[in-house]
Amino acid sequence: MKCPARYRHEVLEGLSALAEKSAYLRFHGCVRQVLVWMGDKACAGETATAREAVAYLDDVWRDRGPRGGFEAVYFAEARRMVSAAAALVDAGHRPVERVLSVVVASQTVVVRPDRVLEAPDGSIVIRRFRTGRRSKSEEEKPIWALLAAAGEAAFPGRVVHLQAFYPAAAEIVPIAPERDGTELAPYADALAGVARGEFAPVTSRDCPTCQFYFICTAEDSF
């Protein structure tokens, strides 16, 4: 979304396997895979315990975890993160379908947050798990406005709460994106760009952690 070139490499050119070369990205990939698995189980009415989450992580790590000198450090952190995610108790909340969609510029955009929960008071909680460090600018990311719109479309008339969960710190942060009616414009622009076949690189501070950093054609990504 932030960088059309990244989208092209990842989705259209199928180069996401390049990410497997980075220990850091492998570590995050393993944690994310476990979190997705836990989310699917929650939707099916099954809660994964910390022990089950760690056992599943062991399997995932064997297949795609990082190797090398820092493996033990990454592995310990991954175990800590999935355990924290499993320990997150949402008393009285009911997991509901987490594939949501919203119409942007006459096109349907599908989003899949990590958790969608129905609270005892009938409100809806949409939660994303953030495996990196907490960022001050998290609330400014356009995905949150998209999730808010998707939640309102799926649950008309309900109050929708957005949350970021940081398993590394076992912390939930409420998110309230600014919504002035133009907040979905970046998605409309991106959809128009895809339709025109334009995937220009857009550099940002994310570039050093982008899996396509070394093949990127942007002149100032370094």
Q: Which residues bind ligand SF4 (CB under 6 A)?
A: 3, 5-6, 201-203, 206-207, 210, 212-213, 216, 218, 221
Residue 8 or 98 having the CB closest to ligand SF4? 8
Per DSSP, helices labelled H in the chain are 4-7, 23-43, 50-64, 71-87, 142-154, 185-196
Helix, strand or coil, per DSSP, at residue 64: helix
Integer Cα distance of 144 and 175 in angstroms? 8
Q: How far is the CB of 193 from ligand SF4 (least distance, A)?
A: 13
Q: How far is the CB of 137 from ligand SF4 (least distance, A)?
A: 16
Show Cβ contacts of residue 156 under 8 Å, excluding neighbours closer than 6 positions: none
CA-nearest of 26, 2, 9 to 213 is 9
135 three-class SS: coil
**Pick 18 or 105: Cβ nearer ligand SF4:** 18
Amino acid found at 222 = F
Task: Closer to ligand SF4 by CB, 84 or 216: give it.
Answer: 216
Identify which of residues 108 and 217 has a Cβ nearer to ligand SF4 in the complex: 217
Residue 45: CB minimum distance to ligand SF4, A: 38
CB of 68 to ligand SF4, least distance (A): 23
